Structure 1
Amino acid sequence: MARTAEGTPGAPHILIVGGGYVGMYTALRLQKKLKRELKRGEVKVTIVDPNSYMTYQPFLPEAAAGNISPRHVVVPLRRVLPKCTVRKARVTELNHDEGWAIVQPLAGPPERINYDYLVMAAGAVPRILPIPGLAEEGFSLKTVGEAIHLRNHVLEQLEVAESTDEVEIRRKALTFVFVGGGFAGVEAIAEVEDMVRDATKYMRKITPQDLRFVLVEASDRILPEVGPDMGKWTAEQLRGRGIDVKLKTFLQSAVGGEIELSDGSRFPSGTLVWNAGVKPSPVVRHTDLPLDERGRIKGTEYLTIEGMVRAFTAGDNAAIPDLTQEGMFCPPNAQHALRQSKVLAANIVRSLRGKSLKPYVHGNLGAVAGLGLHKGVANPLGFKLKGWPAWFFHRTYHGLMVPTVNRKIRVLADWTLALFLKRETVSLATVEQPRADFELAALDDAKPKQKAS
């Protein structure tokens, strides 16, 4: 059966492409359900991802705002998957008909991995539109690196404004534009605005009135996941905090930091955060797997890949039918990814043992969003929560859902310390260019020295 010579001869090899929600949780459950088989070498599981950790993305806005340490929102794959092989590499090509994938490791030539079972869980990347200046001026909030960069960048903009009296420089530095009114965009602008408002308490030249935050959304409402009434309430709350919420508005240009919107407004901004949708990881285009018109892998209700044998998929890179809503697909969110991985792992085990597969059926449990310290909005199981109760529910839910006891304790410790200690608002922008001072010193030493007279 096996097409690989790795491990025990004839032992099936399961390849998981992607170490995010679906990839890590699927591997965790396989590690538990196939404990004896993995120990005896009767099954082999390999997980391939460009990172050696899984990112708990709901915590990225809080990491960007300094409420949680960035290291506490990631889970080391090798630590939680000791029975699996973790490869920090990129899949550059995959042929499921022949059962092989080409991976590019950090160093050295590409390698070929043969496998028997495939789990395609490569996730998604930001959907970048061809808007002039967007690629050069904008950045997203999909990774822990981007969360760290956003925090340092925003605080550095405050330092720029604090260091000069030039009106135009100050106006640009203190204008922050966020595009996208979904969960990522709304939570990001709310958390960052909360942090910046705190930071101005220690500035001499900057007051909260000097700040300009703009949220740009193409549709007629924000946070569609929590319903129209709660979305409208959230927009009113953000406007009450001085955030300019622009609905039915598009970003038209960002060349040189000059923002142009479809409503005719034009202004400079030193910060442009793009959270206007995602698309499947580019790796899916370099495979022989079937894709739909949006570039997603065609999945079935059994989380198998349409027309393929021993091939499974779930998460953001897949179009999985939503059996609770005829003609609809499961939305690309953590709630579905987490629950899909449970069914996916069970179906792989059932396939290995010659049993019939079970379909994935999951009703919507509601949604929850944090809007800064002590502020939030939620509709769990149809109940509408606002303000402090929603914020408390948000923290309770995600505190329970973040993987591993280790991370739960660390996140809880961050939150507990924040109750007694003031928020840190120091920019560490120099960490993004750690050799700058070293190179400057080297250049200085290389200059010819003047003789003392």
Structure 2
Amino acid sequence: MARPRILVVGAGFAGVGCVRRLERRLVPGEAEITLVTPFSYQLYLPLLPQVAAGVLTPQSVAVSLRRSRRHRTRIVPGGAIGVDTDAKVCVVRKITDEIVNEPYDYIVLAAGSVTRTFDIPGLVEHARGMKTLAEAAYVRDHVIAQLDLADASQDEEERASRLQFVVVGAGYAGTETAACLQRLTTNALKQYPRLDPKLIKWHLIDIAPKLMPELGDKLGLDALEILRRRGIEVSLGVSIAEATAERVTFTDGRVLPCRTLIWTAGVAASPLIAALGAETVRGRLAVTPELSLRGSDGVFALGDAAAVPDLAKGDGAVCPPTAQHAMRQGRTMADNLIATLRGMPLVPYEHKDLGLVVDLGGRDAVSKPFGIELKGLPAQVVARGYHWSALRTNVAKTRVLTNWMLNAIAGDDFVRTGFQLRSPATLKDFEYTDAYLSPEQVRAHTAATVIRH
């Protein structure tokens, strides 16, 4: 009798958490596990701002899948571009651009999310994201390049535009990105004696009325005070109306000469979800508390791609797209798959909030572990301790800790690698948002391949 085939799509916190638990708890030979991912690593997303600032190297937050797996999972190097739930086939575009079918008995959709954009003139052409390792590396090179070009320029207008930086989105990603990169440019001034410190200006804007409202009023105000004390101009209730290569127009009418626009204003579920043609909640796949898709046999979803009911809050609330939820859902997902294989009842996903941590660089941080409000150095110790402990492998923990120590002792470096210098750098170039098939294309593809074979 053939072994059941479990196909996991995505190697983020949710997907890897599910696979690792399956490897530990399944009896050898009980099922075949396949993981579909374009990269051979799990990205530790919360530390990307520190990669952009050069505090951490890209390799230190790219946790190897080969090193941590137990040699029971087949890894397909590619991205899922469609799913035919009737035929039980996932369509995969391999990194060679070859399109193949991966049949399954059970599929776990942990495809994650992409940067959410809006119909703002010039946004997708000129904004840069902070969702992938390539984007973080690009943003670092770009920011340092602006300092180099401003230092070399004899044109005062050009110099002013290169030294204005705008980050849209005052959530965790945007706030930490603005804070870490502002610290980098401030520390860089010793290397650029010709630059006027007053010309370097970071702007953090958000249409929301509060900075990181999840922190609560007190810690939110503490974070706001830290940012403004460091010279970051925070504008709430404001977004951008238009972006060009050399300026940004705010919705309040301000026009800033600016050549760096970083967009972190929320996330949207992977476009793969639309390829299913199933019910969604705010773009995320509607699933049961047990993480299964109603009406589809053997289909499960979790993490940023799924609207998982938040049983702790009730009233129709769904879990926010955070790493903390994704990791825990991955474990519940694995347990429910094993229960399905063994004919046992499934368990709903429930959680207890562990709190929040926000690393603002240096000794600046705000944290709320188990409801205890902290700021400054104690908050920084909690924030970095949490991130360090969440890294899956000892190699990754050693690299991150070594990087932190080196940065604390030797300070920042301002090397521009140039790896992405001539590469397209729009959001879709880094996040491949136009690579997916429609439900009709998926069905036509699977029907054609079944006929051929």
Q: Fold-level match, TM-score > 0.5?
A: yes
1:94 equivalent to 2:86? Answer no
Structure ranking higher on relative contact order (CA contacts 8 Å, 6+ apart): 2
1:19 equivalent to 2:11? Answer yes
Residue of structure 1 in register with 2:200 after alignment: 211
Amino acid at match of 1:305: L
1:58 equivalent to 2:8? Answer no
Q: Would the aligned equivalents of 2:281 and 2:307 in 1 still touch at CA under 8 Å?
A: no
Match of 2:329 among 328, 340, 362: 340
Taking the TM superposition and a 5 Å limit, the aligned residue runs for 1:326-337 are 326=314, 327-337=316-326
**1:328 match: secondary structure:** coil
What number of residue pairs does the alignment pair up?
421
1:412 equivalent to 2:404? Answer no
Residue of structure 1 in register with 2:154 after alignment: 165
1:350 equivalent to 2:339? Answer yes
Moved more, 353-362 or 233-242: 233-242
CA distances 1:146-170 after superposition (whole Å, capped 9, x unpaired):
1111111000100011101311111
Taking the TM superposition and a 5 Å limit, the aligned residue runs for 1:23-422 are 23-34=15-26, 36-37=27-28, 40=29, 42-81=30-69, 82-107=71-96, 109-288=98-277, 290-326=278-314, 327-422=316-411
Q: State how far apart, in whole Å, the 1-side matches of 2:342 and 2:53 are.
A: 48
Q: State how far apart, in whole Å, the 1-side matches of 2:180 and 2:46 are.
A: 12
Query: Offset of 1:257 from its aligned partner?
Result: 2.7
Q: State how far apart, in whole Å, the 2-side matches of 1:430 and 1:337 are.
A: 31
**2:238 match: secondary structure:** coil
**2:320 match: secondary structure:** coil
Q: State how far apart, in whole Å, the 1-side matches of 2:31 and 2:216 are.
A: 45
Q: State how far apart, in whole Å, the 2-side matches of 1:173 and 1:367 are.
A: 34
Runs of 4+ in 1 over 3 A off after TM superposition: 430-434
What is the TM-score normalised by the length of structure 1? 0.90
Q: State how far apart, in whole Å, the 2-side matches of 1:166 and 1:291 are.
A: 55
**1:213 match: secondary structure:** strand
Residue of structure 1 in register with 2:442 after alignment: none
CA distances 1:179-198 after superposition (whole Å, capped 9, x unpaired):
00100000000000011111
What is the TM-score normalised by the length of structure 2? 0.90
Q: State how far apart, in whole Å, the 2-side matches of 1:373 and 1:108 are.
A: 43
Query: Offset of 1:264 from its aligned partner?
Result: 1.4
Amino acid at match of 1:58: P
Identity of aligned residues (%): 36
Query: Offset of 1:78 from its aligned partner?
Result: 2.7
Q: Alpha carbons of 1:311 and 1:410: their partners in 2 closer, same or farther (altered >3 Å)?
A: same
**1:122 match: secondary structure:** coil
Match of 1:423 among 408, 412, 432: 412
Mark the structure with the bigger radius of gyration.
1
CA RMSD of aligned residues (A): 1.4
Q: Would the aligned equivalents of 2:9 and 2:37 in 1 still touch at CA under 8 Å?
A: yes
